[in-house]
Amino acid sequence: MTDITIYHNNRCSKSRATLALIEDKTEQLNIVNYLQTPPTLAELNHIITLLGFTSARQLMRTGEAVYKELQLKTEEDEAKLLQAMLDNPKLIERPIVLANGQARIGRPPESVLEII
């Protein structure tokens, strides 16, 4: 089995549920607490590509207060959207699971089972 990486936030119930599902399937698991260890720009771009997204905004938590504070709703510059996520990792949707050259967001948690 391939190594699996989860970008995890322990305060999120969906993230905890996704982690539990993965732990039932494998011991080869890399847990990244992305709020303390945010992904790099290259990693964010890679995740967006693996998810098949056409915009960084698709990976953003648009309901977060910082999203509104930074007035990102009208921002069209992809570099600025990415930088906002790098500067404010709580803007990154969670949990994200990478496995077997694919990625899924664990919403619902069971959606990650198709790639592990």
Active site amino acids: 12
Burial of 42 (0-12, 13-18, 19+ CB in 10 A): exposed
Q: Give the span between the Cα atoms of 109 and 78, in whole angstroms.
A: 28
Token pair 């997204």 in the structure block, residue: 53
Which structure tokens are listed for 34?
A: 């992305």
Q: What angle do CA 3, 32, 48 make, to 5 degrees?
A: 80
Residues 6 or more apart from 12 whose CB is under 8 A from it? 94, 95
